[in-house]
Structure 1
Amino acid sequence: MTNPILPGFHPDPSICRVGGTYYVATSTFEWFPGVEINASEDLQNWRLVSRPLDRASLLDMRGEPDSCGVWAPCLSYADGLFWLVYTDVKRYNGNYKDTHNYVTTAPSIEGPWSEPVYLNSSGFDASIFHDDDGRKWHVNMDWDYRGQLPGRSFFGGIVLQEYDHDARRLVGPIKRIFTRTKKDCTEGPHIFKRDGWYYLTLAEGGTGYNHVVTYARSRNIDGPYEVGDKSYLITAADAPDEPLQRTGHGQYIEAPDGTFWHTFLCSRPLPGTRRSPLGRETAIAQVEWTDDGWLTLDKARYDVATDGFADDDVVYAFGAKLHPDFQWLRTPEPERLFDTTAHEGHLRLIGRESIGSLYESALVARRQTGWRYSAECALDCDPRDYKTQAGLTAYYNSTQFHYLHVSRDDDGRRVLGIQSCAGAWPDGHVSLPLGEGYPIPDGPVELGVDVDLTVLQFRWRIAGGTWAPIGPKLDASALSDEGGRGEHACFTGAFVGMAAQDNSGTAWTADFSRFAYKNRKEERNDG
């Protein structure tokens, strides 16, 4: 098994099996559509099969802060249905989180997904356990806004309540079934049952370099749950030289051949740094049961792609539907951001708010999946002034991005400009490395970007011409979990894609005819 099995931004993996097919659901935070589900028959080779939260009734994240939105989904299968539990987080700063938990079901992984059932808002990382007696139990971490008081934690433990699917609501008493170990930050609960024991899977230590997967068990669904001598199943907290860092938050699964597996999230920091532009990725490891009924992990049983390389080489042509590799930010109304039919063979972006907007930003992008990559786009646009811009962006969030764009200066000349916002949290101020801009002729233009570990270099050419670098070398590592607010506050991963904006509010448009992405094993050399 070679890890990560899902390279690039794929955190909080929840796994289930239906027959011979495995499904993993991962968090998408502010990226729309919400929740990504990949499928595999061998646990190694995966394919995207669904992003279920694709309409306003299921998810609307307009106005939500960076790294809020969809946290830690739980995917399960029971009663002939797929069950997806998810949290929509509306706030990050301060003592409150404003977390709303929902469940939706579907007869097939492709849908149709039902209208959501609201569950509660007491915390995040919600899941449902289907017991063998037919009852269903909802668990989530409990957020305590009084967490700064002595003896308390914002992570107030794990709470359990029964779910009545016929009544479409939680019923009965709420019971706190677990508090925390010394690692604290207790979250990510999942329950499964084996040999008469209820096992409680937890993520603790915060989703940074002290992250762990913790196990507790009980003879009763509502506890008390006790941890064993080897309660921390997966962690790299005491192994700073391990290629996979920040390991934690996963779920157990049994294979038809009698083997046992465990998903977990991880990151691969760039060499010599503690910065992870690929974000938190999904990995899997084989586990075993001890004679006394606890899980153990043998790290020797899996390999790691230590060179940060994943085979990913795609040239995208635009048709009637957007390729599923691409996502956009926050809004369930993509028709206001882009049009796939207005200009045949083109993706038309409709300029809206700024590239850093938390409401409507015409930005269509895909994940960075390797430490070294090249991306290119072909663009035809006629900017009106400096408020109308379109181009290519390497993007992490609203305060972490580099953006090469076509615009016009005050003299009406078409120019290339660069906006760089390298972790300027919380103010989001940008630097302008090209000043007023670099003059270019009218007509179609191609824009490119090359990333080599920590270095990002933009390039450009007139369509069909010779590539030339543009602007200074920029810090690619700033587009990482650790490059802004830090590992415990930034939860996504770097993307690269196309953007357009019209800060005068007239919905100016720009047409893209091609986008290409390729991971590289070696540093780019144009010789």
Structure 2
Amino acid sequence: MIKVIRSFHLLFSFAFLLAFGFACSQPEKVEIIQEQVIPGELPDPTLIEVDGVYYASGSSNAWGPYYPIYQSKDLKNWTFVDYVFREKPDWTINSFWAPELFYKDGTFYCYYTAKRKDGVSCIGVASTKDLKKGFEDHGVLIEWGNEAIDAFVNQQGEDLYITWKAYGLTEGKPITLLGSKLSKDGLSLEGEAFEVLTAEADTWEQGGIEGQTILERDGYLYMIYSGNACCGANCDYQVGVARAKTMEGSWEKYAGNPILKGNEDWKCPGHGTAIQTGDDWFYLYHAYPTQGFPNLGRSALLSQIAWDEETGWPQFSANSQLGSGEIMGSDFIDEFDGKALDPNWRFDVEAGNATAKIEGGNLILSSDSSAYPAFLGVNPEKADAEFQTQVSGKSDVLRSLTFYVTKDNSLGLGIQGDSLVLWKVTKGDFQILGKQAVGTSSGIHLKAMMTDGKQFQFSFSLDGQTWENIGAEVNGDNLAWWSWGMKAGVSVKSDGISADRKSSFGEFSVRY
């Protein structure tokens, strides 16, 4: 495995901002940079600081393992630590959203959203003393009607509070952020729940609010929250703020909302966490890169919070000229020469039919059924990229280089028997776009050139040196999904007749 060390340049950007941005902006509208700090897809990021180390996590949606954790000492350079869960908790089935990390008295907590086996989203809680040893799940903490999602935990004196989004699926009732006290051990609610903030249908919120974070400054609690449509091609997510003297309120919404909107580089920003470092406050949140929108999913961005010293309200002005619209990305090369699967690989929770292992310098991918292909993938980090894999051995199953968003929406180039097959699945309809006999399948190399996250030119090689295109460019219009970005990887599709349901892959690479 080869990994490229990433170096980010926020310090230079902030220095430039101090020298130029503050001098040129009006006092009441400070220019704030907007930088991606964690590569790839990481929606709904949570952020905490423990003994000088920052920890972040984000939604996994329908992909396992669940809730990746990263650490940093400067909010700029992040490294992967582990996942909250390698296996999903027993009570859950899907929709692993919005983890909330919290730390108290030597214990890390994760308050997370997931769908229960009856299809209702609830908030669970898990804890650990050591992030590298995994979390112990304590089950459901909050069930509230048809839906309880997006937990945020904060401490006021000796009291712990949790807030969450409710009534998102309740007809005739406005979406509301609710709050409650937590027990001292953080594992149960105490007292009656109370209303914190209610969505307004006739404002920029368009009837939807969620993704709240709460900070304390100069005698006020400030709630930075998100409103409008969060996700997908028609998203219009934005960020607003409200304040109160106590958790129970009353909460006053800022008349100048929204305070953060999309721009030419990053669309639909929101659902983040505020954190203080020194005298400064920062906001880690997600947004879609306009390059490859929406196929790449939502990335984690960092912006500094500015404060109006007269009114006390926080402000953003995410000027892309002062930030960097560049999407982060580092080459990923896996030669499958380790003992275990690299943690960058993800599997489809809904399909639930893939088994993978490393054996003899190869990835062995098996399908547990013939209904859907077994898929294993990584997050593409940029909109333009080259993907390669090598298929080992001969088989009658279709073994492919694959771009995948759900079990019913994918495309790829594969080898079946002695023939190459160019294919596309849209809403479950499998179509062969092209077929070409090559005489052999053992050791064949497959390649795809991706442009703007949407167009794919496939080719093959018998020796890894001389490449031949197969078919015309394939349009990835079936890879736009409302809640997550596509994955790139390898798949195995049984023909439903043969007993053979596995394949061996010799390598996989992504180059930007």
- TM-score norm. by structure 1 comes to 0.82
Q: 1:12 aligns with which of 44, 47, 66?
A: 44
What is the letter of the counterpart of residue 47 of structure 2? I
Q: Look up the SS of the partner of 2:37 in the other structure.
A: coil
* Post-superposition CA distance 1:19-71 (Å, at most 9, x none): 3222221111011011122222222222211211212436753xx5xxxx111
Residue pair 1:160, 1:176 contacting (<8 A) in 2 also: yes
* Post-superposition CA distance 1:204-248 (Å, at most 9, x none): 111144211121111121222111223422112xx5xx2111112
User: Which residue in the other structure is 2:31 paired with?
Assistant: none
Distance 1:192 1:418 in 2: 52
Q: Look up the SS of the partner of 1:251 in the other structure.
A: strand
- Offset at residue 199 of structure 1 (A): 2.3
User: Which residue in the other structure is 2:3 paired with?
Assistant: none
Distance 1:23 1:480 in 2: 30
* Post-superposition CA distance 1:51-102 (Å, at most 9, x none): 11212436753xx5xxxx11111112222222211111369xxxx9610210
CA gap of 1:159–1:22, structure 2 versus 1, over 3 A, is same
Is 1:203 the counterpart of 2:215 in the alignment? no
Q: Look up the SS of the partner of 2:430 in the other structure.
A: coil
Distance 1:146 1:259 in 2: 39
Residue pair 1:128, 1:136 contacting (<8 A) in 2 also: no
Is 1:494 the counterpart of 2:506 in the alignment? no
Is 1:46 the counterpart of 2:61 in the alignment? no
Distance 1:366 1:213 in 2: 29
Distance 2:491 2:352 in 1: 16
User: Which residue in the other structure is 1:485 paired with?
Assistant: none
- Offset at residue 15 of structure 1 (A): 1.3
User: Which residue in the other structure is 1:459 paired with?
Assistant: 459
CA gap of 1:57–1:244, structure 2 versus 1, over 3 A, is closer
Distance 2:288 2:242 in 1: 25
Q: 2:501 aligns with which of 508, 511, 523?
A: 508
Q: Look up the SS of the partner of 2:272 in the other structure.
A: coil
Q: 1:278 aligns with which of 288, 293, 296?
A: 296
Is 1:378 the counterpart of 2:397 in the alignment? no
Q: Look up the SS of the partner of 2:434 in the other structure.
A: coil
- Offset at residue 105 of structure 1 (A): 1.3
Within a 5 Å distance, the mapping from 1:240-259 to structure 2 comes to: 242-255=264-277, 257-259=278-280
Q: Look up the SS of the partner of 1:110 in the other structure.
A: helix
Q: 1:344 aligns with which of 354, 360, 377?
A: 360
- Offset at residue 377 of structure 1 (A): 0.8
Higher strand residue share: 2
The total of aligned residue pairs comes to: 467
Distance 1:29 1:440 in 2: 41
What is the letter of the counterpart of residue 418 of structure 1? L
Distance 2:322 2:128 in 1: 35
Within a 5 Å distance, the mapping from 1:478-489 to structure 2 comes to: 478-481=478-481
Q: 1:269 aligns with which of 290, 294, 298?
A: 290
Q: Look up the SS of the partner of 1:401 in the other structure.
A: strand
- Offset at residue 119 of structure 1 (A): 0.9
Within a 5 Å distance, the mapping from 1:225-374 to structure 2 comes to: 225-236=251-262, 239=263, 242-255=264-277, 257-270=278-291, 275-291=293-309, 292-300=311-319, 303-306=322-325, 308=327, 310-318=328-336, 319-330=338-349, 337-340=355-358, 343-353=359-369, 357=372, 362-374=374-386
Distance 2:307 2:440 in 1: 67
What is the letter of the counterpart of residue 429 of structure 1? D
Is 1:393 the counterpart of 2:402 in the alignment? yes
In structure 1, list runs of 5 or more residues that go unmatched.
409-413, 482-489, 520-527
- TM-score norm. by structure 2 comes to 0.84
Q: 2:138 aligns with which of 103, 116, 125?
A: 116
Out of 195-204 and 373-382, give the one that drifted further: 195-204
RMSD: 2.6
- Offset at residue 456 of structure 1 (A): 0.6
In structure 2, list runs of 5 or more residues that go unmatched.
1-9, 11-33
CA gap of 1:442–1:452, structure 2 versus 1, over 3 A, is closer
Is 1:420 the counterpart of 2:428 in the alignment? no
Is 1:82 the counterpart of 2:108 in the alignment? yes
CA gap of 1:169–1:504, structure 2 versus 1, over 3 A, is farther
What is the letter of the counterpart of residue 297 of structure 2? G
Distance 2:305 2:504 in 1: 50
Distance 1:77 1:20 in 2: 13
* Post-superposition CA distance 1:106-144 (Å, at most 9, x none): 223323311233112323433242323332222111025
Out of 345-354 and 508-517, give the one that drifted further: 345-354
Distance 2:431 2:48 in 1: 46
Q: State percent identity of aligned pairs.
A: 19
Q: Look up the SS of the partner of 2:158 in the other structure.
A: coil
User: Which residue in the other structure is 1:189 paired with?
Assistant: 212
Distance 2:38 2:186 in 1: 37
Distance 1:507 1:27 in 2: 35
Is 1:441 the counterpart of 2:440 in the alignment? yes
Distance 1:98 1:85 in 2: 16
Is 1:405 the counterpart of 2:414 in the alignment? yes
Out of 279-288 and 223-232, give the one that drifted further: 223-232
Distance 1:507 1:223 in 2: 62
